[in-house]
Amino acid sequence: MHEETSLTVGRVNRVLTERVRPAIHSARVPLEIAVHQLPGEPIAPVEGLALDFQPFSAGSMWGPAWGTTWFRVRGDVPAEWGGKKVEALIDLGFDINMPGFQCEALVYRPDGSPVKSINPRNQWVPVDAVAGHSVELFLEGAANPVLLDYHPFLPTQEGDIRTSSPEPLYRVRHMDLAVFEPEVFDLSLDLEVLIELQAELPETSPRRMRILQALDNALDVLDLQRIVETAGDARAQLADVLASPADASAHRIAAIGHAHIDSAWLWPVRETIRKVARTTSSMTALIDEQPEFLYGMSSAQQYAWIKEHRPEVFERVRAAIADGRFLPLGGMWVESDTVMPTGESLVRQFSHGQRFFEREFGIRSKGVWLPDSFGYSPALPQLMRRAGFEWFFTQKISWNQRNVFPHHSFLWEGIDGSRMFTHFPSMDTYNSQLSGMEVAKASRQFKENRVATMSIAPVGWGDGGGGTTREMTGKAARLADLEGSAKVEWKHPDAFFDDAKAELTDPAVWVGELYLELHRGTLTSQHATKALHRWAEQALIEAELWAATAAVQRGAEYDYAEFDRLWQLVLLHEFHDILPGTSIAWVHREAVEVLSQVLADAEKLSSAARRALAGEGDRELVFTPTSVGGGRALGAVELARTEASASLAETAEGYVLENGLVTVTVSPEGLITSAIDKATGRETIAAGSPANLFQLHQDFPNMWDAWDIDRYYKNRVDDLTDVSSIEASVVDGTAVVIVKRQFSASAITQTITLRPDSRTVALRNDIDWHETEKLLKLAFPLDIFARETLAETQFGFQRRVTHVNTSWEAAKFETSMHRFVLAQEDDGFGAALINDSIYGFDTSRDVDGDDVTTTVRLSLLRAPRFPDPDTDHGHHEIEVGLVVGADAEIATAEGIALNARAKVVRGANEVEPLVSVTGTGIIVSSVKLADDRSGDVIVRVYESLGRRATGALTVGFEHSGIREVSLIEDELDDARTGGELALKPFEVRTLRIARA
């Protein structure tokens, strides 16, 4: 036969686009439209329904950026439509390529009950009306501006209501009543599924040829002027090829409805609340219509929002959950970043998420659902296991720039050796439309095809919400058992993971962090958000400690509700587009405001507890909130005065700062040219390469401005060595050098200090930052041959080699830390860099003759212009420290001390700690009262040095026993009891002490 494939494909595509889809709705009549544009923020639906409405006509403009317009539409169903399905068709000015990223609306009946949402890919509304009767609907329209446009990443002021344009953005195209033609709709899906399937089959395969012939046959009998009347005949020509079953070995896809609603991103939190209401309204409506459809949604926070703000929607969600059709996923408060939050924050993500799901719905999530976070900490497998989870799901690693991840279903091993069964969808998306290309890709790419048969497909429009459509469920029905395709089945992720683990009995193992080879700039962008979050985390941990101590020792109130409220605010801001710094200006402006208030409120709780403990008096009491360092750990003792003092001398080389531990030289340019450990005589700074060097790079990635740092940024660098002024003195026994620098439009005042009893050179940086598309680094070339760095992560540290032997190592040119990074030689000598608010750093190793230099550079600030054109502009305080002669134990202690500082309070009473621990490397992470409000004390400890440790927990109050519980305070069947501690490397244990 002659080759006719391209002719058939072209024919089908044109008929489908220009004739069949437009005929899905046949007869139409316009609705009468009236509007009320709100002058400010959104209002409750009950208020919206009662507004005064003014006449409005299709073709008119509406909606300034971030504005809300209420529409009222009315009409009469024509008498001749009797017995037909009627829908309202509403086009608010949609671009069908931008679902979730532009205007949307939630539709209400006159009684205030929600119907469903409308968006660019879901423009229909069911109408419960009898022919000849009237229809009335109300629409809460949101005029969200398009920020990620066809030319993405362009700087815009539309990302904040304070700077956005007041001009209307959208033009209503139509608001009509229309007759829905189900047979034409089904024909459109038949044609779409088959034309997409044939494109994925071998070019001359018999199956493809049969499909193409059937398509031609169908169009031969379809009268293009009588689509409705002949659609059934056309479908009959396709029946056989649609009924042909899949191969016995066909890949199996577990589909789950999904929307992945970012809790904030290119819209503020207040708009996310409405996005959740809109999407869940549509999904519960779809559940009612499609008996096999299952929809999954993560993030307890999003359920809590609709419970508070849209209770009428929440009740529909609750009912669908009770029916097993709407599935709470993930067991976390939000889909958080997992690289930057502390271990305690991740614990609280799990505990607050699971507590909410159990309280509201009587269920627990069995797995962690994080499709879109930007890399995953190697501490996570242990934390998931100890919180009671059985599986982990993500997708983002498929975005790697350089290396293709080698597994889709595998065991992920963390820093302590814990393993978690993990799955990546081989479809490489969390927003599947079940297209032929996606379904074929899932089968073709699945890495475990030799030994396993199944993958997951999250199905629906996402990021900005929208969810699954009736078109997608229709395609799923056709792909359930179709020759040439993978088999698609709606399936609970729990059931998928049970089946996947059963068939993959010897899965491959991936050890260590799941590093995303992309979005490396998220460790640095929006420093103010990151700093306040770090400080708020620590403030809450301290407030819990002192409040628990005051409750047990003084009978003071422990404000459980307030702690829950504050923690939930912190957890919200760990969302993977807030803490990473990748949201619009509005989001980060509010984040700074909210986290500042959390910090203040947590400090109020701490202050009240410390006052209750100290009593009235004039003694200066030092409250030490950690179990490492000096003072009375986790308690308070009277301040001990010391006569010791660091010295400072001015020489030809600059300033020499010295105490009993280290000797440090600061050059006239404010650079550290020498840092000697006096105990060993070892020099820390590489000869001829001064440290404490600020370096400014041009930072203009190929795309994803706030997200990415591309490798070529290193090709251009300016060393900031010019000094405006430098002053030196000894203040209260501390040697101080103050260096001021001006560069471009910015300025840095750096205070270099050396205390009398410290091996840490403290570097406090007050930065007035007004750069554009720049990256500020602080470099430390070290006279250390470090084969690896040790970078703190949750409850331990991760090791990273300093060479780039493979593409995997070369891709890690910007990596993460928490409070410290340590470069150390094999003999144990090292230097650590500690910090109070940063996360990104890079490492390089250079050889010059016999000299090996390991350079560690901290990433301080960035200045991307999208999505916030003024990212990081303004004042920042960043403190770092160079710890001379450090090992892992010293680095850990110094990093903790910088972030959890002792506080001096005037009072009468020293304070005995509630608990104390012995054992090298064993650290108390938190002390609090139990979540169940029983008054029992919860203590979390971990091994911090990566080696086995033994010790003991001593309790300073009357109690009736100590037993181990899960990370989220559940009872354990095999719970260890008593205060003896035997911890494996990086092991985390949670202990419950029952008060007598």
Q: Residues 695-722: pLDDT tens digits?
A: 999 999 999 999 999 999 999 999 999 9
**pTM surpassing 0.95?**
yes
**Residues, the chain, total?**
996
The closest of 488, 487, 481, 473 to 186, measured between CA atoms, is 473
What's the DSSP call for residue 350?
A: H
Dihedral over Cα of 144, 148, 154, 159: its sign: positive
* Res. 631: pLDDT tops 80: no
Over residues 730-763, the pLDDT tens digits come to 999 999 999 999 999 999 999 999 999 999 999 9
Q: What tens digit of pLDDT does each residue of 317-332 get?
A: 999 999 999 999 999 9
Q: What pLDDT shows up at residue 822?
A: 98
Strands (E), 38-167: 54-56, 61-64, 67-76, 85-91, 104-108, 114-118, 124-126, 134-143
Closest CA to 89 of 181, 22, 25, 16: 25
pLDDT of amino acid 789: 98
Contact 123, 94 (CB under 8 A): yes
Whole-angstrom Cα distance, residue 961 to residue 991?
10
Q: What is the pLDDT of residues 210-236, one digit of tens each?
A: 999 999 999 999 999 999 999 999 999
Q: What is the pLDDT of residues 339-348, one digit of tens each?
A: 999 999 999 9
pLDDT class for 57, splitting at 50, 70, 90? very high
| pLDDT tens for each residue of 865-876 | 999 999 999 999
Pairing of strands 662-666, 654-658: antiparallel
pLDDT at 630: 66
Q: Are strands 988-995 and 937-943 parallel, antiparallel or unpaired?
A: antiparallel
pLDDT confidence band for 484 (50 / 70 / 90): very high
Q: pLDDT digit string (tens) for 102-115?
A: 999 999 999 999 99
**Positive or negative: CA dihedral 263, 266, 268, 274:** negative
CB 795 within 8 A of CB 983: no
% of the chain residues with pLDDT over 70: 99
Q: Map residue 313 onto helix, strand or coil.
A: helix
Per-residue pLDDT at 2: 60
Contact 211, 9 (CB under 8 A): no
Q: What is the dihedral of CA 953, 634, 351, 950, to 10 degrees?
A: -30
- Cα distances (angstroms) measured from residue 278 to each of 141, 148, 220, 310: 11, 21, 41, 10
Residues of the chain with pLDDT > 90, as a percent, come to 97
Q: Please tell me the distance from the alpha carbon of residue 935 to that of residue 928, in angstroms, as a whole number.
A: 9
Compute the distance between CA of residue 431 and CA of residue 476 in angstroms, rounded to an integer.
Answer: 14
Across 476-489, average pLDDT? 98
Q: Which long-range contacts does 554-560 make (Cβ < 8 Å, 24+ apart)?
A: 554/612, 554/613, 556/608, 556/609, 556/612, 558/929, 558/935, 559/605, 560/929, 560/931, 560/933
Give residue 3's pLDDT band: very low, low, confident or very high (50, 70, 90): confident
pLDDT tens-digit readout, 503-514 = 999 999 999 999
Q: Which long-range contacts (CB under 8 A, 24 or more apart) does 364-367 make?
A: 364/331, 364/388, 365/328, 365/329, 365/330, 365/331, 365/389, 366/331, 366/390, 366/391, 366/494, 366/497, 367/329, 367/330, 367/331, 367/391, 367/392, 367/393, 367/493, 367/494, 367/497
CB 355 within 8 A of CB 932: no
Instruction: Say how far apart CA 483 and CA 488 lie, in whole Å.
Output: 12
Q: What is the pLDDT of residue 622?
A: 96
Q: How do residues 388-440 score in pLDDT, each as one tens digit? A: 999 999 999 999 999 999 999 999 999 999 999 999 999 999 999 999 999 99
Q: What's the mean per-residue pLDDT of the chain?
A: 97
